[in-house]
Amino acid sequence: MKRVRVGLVGAGFAAHFHADCYRRVAGVEVELRAVAAARPERARALADEFAISRAYERVEDLLADPEVDLVDLCVPNHLHVPLIEAAARAGKHVAVEKPLTGYFGEDWPDPTAAIGDVVPRDRMRAGALANADRAIAACRQAGVKLLYAENWVYAPGIQKMRRLLERAGGSILRIEGEESHSGSHAAYYRHWRTAGGGTMLGKGCHPLGAALYLKRVEGLRRLGQPIRPRSVVAETARLTRTPGFEGEATHYIKSGYEDIEDWASLLVTFDDGTVAQITAADTTLGGIRNYLTVFASNAVVTANINPNNLCTAYAPEASIFGDEYITEKIETKAGWTFPAPDEDWVTGYPHEMQDFVEAVAFDREPLSDAALARDVVAVIFAGYQSAAEGRRIAIE
């Protein structure tokens, strides 16, 4: 049996569910060989929890480990490209959490500036695309794979949608999708300089990535080449900075973002004239809202990733279900809820790790690859420019 040895960089939320999903891979032997994190005590705790043999205090030591084949980056966005480049130089295949990259003020003269408030969006766009191209070039030159961790591509609902659309044989005319919830728990996300963008980047990348993937698949099936995004019109807002919200005594939605938007909408036009409408928000109560609907010429298909009604529950008081997990980002366990029997499975994480490990073991490209990762960055930063300038922007 083929074997792939994994090194995790980061020991937080994403690293935990990645580690758990690697244990569910079938057909390839996966060994969680090493972990490194900025806080060594967290690396050691993750190593103990998942029987990882080596906990490094420095990322450089993990990258130098000859018994690591695949480096999985579960770190804040501003660290993605530097670590991709370092891993590629070390000859390691690289899995990187979404988004691939953003703009982090690298070329802005004031290192203390709230860059989301002052940097022109066309400059951001050029910087983000340069970052994406650096990462892709580093992996290409080193002959290693860049595995883009867009779990929506792998979600069972999206893959069932793909199969239904392929069997139907019609053309995709319109796609509508959304990811939204009540706000991120990560401290780095509050600042453009470390997040690389706001909710359009951090949330919108998911439904956008799935939409781009489905149009790519359709193009390959019908035309022999991908159908790609051509232009975008977008709008953004800071809804938690509005007077009405700020004047309320009690807030159930997270706020305090320094210089990022908390709502965004994209209208993407593809080179075949079809469209996708994408919404992203950090201002939605009731848990995560993740869905994608495809309106084809001969069918309509919806994937309800979150919430879904595989399990429903009611409790008159929040304490009744005790410490039993319900679902991510929900504010209360009272009332009707949608408990997740296997949240990782529904959102595609085990399938993502399966594909990544197979791509390394059998030397093939993953479903979610570098080209998709770059297209997501290209569309979103064209969207930022569109929102700032009030006009349609062509995709590079």
Tens digit of pLDDT for each residue in 33-70? 999 999 999 999 999 999 999 999 999 999 999 999 99
Tens digit of pLDDT for each residue in 372-395? 999 999 999 999 999 999 999 999
Residue 249 has a pLDDT of 94
Residue 162 has a pLDDT of 98
380 compared with 185, residue with greater pLDDT: 380
Residue 184 has a pLDDT of 87
| Nearest-angstrom CA–CA distance, 264 and 262 | 7
Q: Over 90: is that where the pLDDT of 326 sits?
A: yes
Domains of the chain from N-terminus onward: 3-151+353-369 (3.40.50.720), 152-341+376-394 (3.30.360.10)
Token pair belonging to 71:
């480096």
Percentage of the chain beyond pLDDT 90 is: 98
Quickly tell me which residue has 């966005």 as its tokens: 77
Tens digit of pLDDT for each residue in 80-124? 999 999 999 999 999 999 999 999 999 999 999 999 999 999 999
DSSP string, 357-382: HHHHHTT---SS-HHHHHHHHHHHHH
CA angle 106, 189, 322 (to 5 degrees): 160
DSSP string, 226-272: ---EEEEEEEEE-GGGSHHHHT-S--SS----SS--SEEEEEEEETT
Q: Over 90: is that where the pLDDT of 1 sits?
A: no
| Nearest-angstrom CA–CA distance, 122 and 92 | 33
Grade residue 396 by pLDDT with cuts at 50, 70 and 90. Answer: confident
Nearest Cα to Cα of residue 352 among 14, 7, 3, 10: 14
Kindly report the average pLDDT of the chain as a whole number.
97
Which DSSP state fits 53?
Answer: S
Query: Nearest 5°: phi and psi at 57?
Result: -85, -20
Query: Nearest 5°: phi and psi at 181?
Result: -160, -165
Tens digit of pLDDT for each residue in 206-243? 999 999 999 999 999 999 999 999 999 999 999 999 99
| Nearest-angstrom CA–CA distance, 234 and 392 | 8
Residue 31 has a pLDDT of 97
Q: Over 90: is that where the pLDDT of 189 sits?
A: yes
Token pair belonging to 222:
């019908």
- Contacts with 78 (C-beta within 8 Å, 6 or more apart), sequence order: 102, 104, 188, 193, 194, 195, 196
Q: Over 90: is that where the pLDDT of 185 sits?
A: no
Taking phi first (over 0 means left), then psi (-120 to 50 degrees means alpha), and beta for anything else, what does residue 202 get? alpha
